[in-house]
Amino acid sequence: MNAANSAFKAIADPARREILRLLRQGEMTAGDLACHFDMSKPTMSHHFAVLADADLITRRREGQTIWYGLNSTVLQDVLAWMLDLAGNLPSERKP
């Protein structure tokens, strides 16, 4: 699956979008992120894996702690594609 398809699949889920939003503030541990959700650890791990597979997040291990960070490069590429697809906005079109 190419990067854009993986990114669309990843951001289709509201919980994963919320994880990305939380990571805009900076790196967070899995536990820090999990406290914002009412779901099991395996479910959280699945969301982290989908986001990592889409290259939307980074992860680094520090001892037994895993730190997650936002990798906005793929999102920027998807946004650029969407803007290109949309073309000029209606207010920018000339008669």
What integer pLDDT is reported at residue 88 of this predicted model?
A: 64
Q: How far apart are CA 67 and CA 78, in angstroms?
A: 25
Report which of 20, 6, 27, 75 is spatially closest to residue 48, judged by C-alpha positions: 20
Q: What is the mean pLDDT of each run of 10 residues along the chain (95 residues)?
A: 81 96 95 95 95 95 94 85 76 55
Return the pLDDT at 25.
94
Q: Is 88 helix (H, G, I), strand (E, B) or coil?
A: coil
3-state helix, strand, coil in the chain (%, to 5): 60, 15, 25
Provide the CA 51 distance to its chain's centre, in angstroms: 6
Q: For residues 15 and 56, what is the distance between their CA atoms, to the nearest angstrom?
A: 14
